[in-house]
């Protein structure tokens, strides 16, 4: 069965510092996709970054990068130069080949708090 594990319930960082949010996954499919979403206190789910299992390079989107280590089955999110607006819940998700085909399987999330 496919599974996403986020072991950090909460992370604290100061402005302008970099932070890494951990995510490990479990799947037996050779083809899969990995995603990170941000959920601020207002509640919406905001797509941040995507990594395909066959992508040779780690994905980057502005201040976000995904540290993809296939052999270790990890897909950590790195946020460089944290800002106060980065305070939110962050979810790692995987597109698996479950009964719902392309539906996403989510981890339980990590709450990031950025202080000045």
Partner 1 sequence: NAGVTQTPKFQVLKTGQSMTLQCAQDMNHNSMYWYRQDPGMGLRLIYYSASEGTTDKGEVPNGYNVSRLNKREFSLRLESAAPSQTSVYFCASRGGIHQETQYFGPGTRLLVL
Place of tokens 């390079």: 57
Residue 64 touches partner 1, criterion: CB under 8 A:
no
DSSP 57: S
Listing DSSP states for 25-53 in one string gives: EE---SS-EEEEEEE-TT---EEEEEEET
Residue 99 touches partner 1, criterion: CB under 8 A:
yes
Backbone dihedral angles phi then psi of residue 60, each to the nearest 5 degrees? -135, 145
Q: Closer CB to partner 1, residue 44 or residue 116?
A: 44
Residue 44 touches partner 1, criterion: CB under 8 A:
yes
Choose which of 18, 47, 83, 113 interacts with partner 1 (CB under 8 A).
47
Footprint of partner 1 (CB under 8 A): 4, 33, 35, 37, 43-47, 50, 52, 91, 93, 95, 99-104, 106-109
């Amino acid at each position: 069965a496919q599974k996403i594990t986020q072991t950090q319930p909460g992370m604290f960082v100061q402005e302008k510092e970099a932070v890494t949010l951990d995510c490990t996954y479990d799947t037996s499919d050779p083809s899969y996709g990995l995603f990170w979403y941000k959920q601020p206190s207002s509640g919406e789910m905001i797509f941040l970054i995507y990594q395909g299992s066959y992508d040779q390079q780690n994905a980057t989107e502005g201040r976000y990068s995904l540290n993809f280590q296939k052999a270790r089955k990890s897909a950590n999110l790195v946020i460089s130069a944290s800002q106060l607006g980065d305070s939110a819940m962050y979810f790692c998700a995987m597109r698996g080949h479950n009964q719902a085909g392309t539906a996403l399987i989510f981890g339980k999330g990590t709450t990031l708090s950025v202080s000045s």
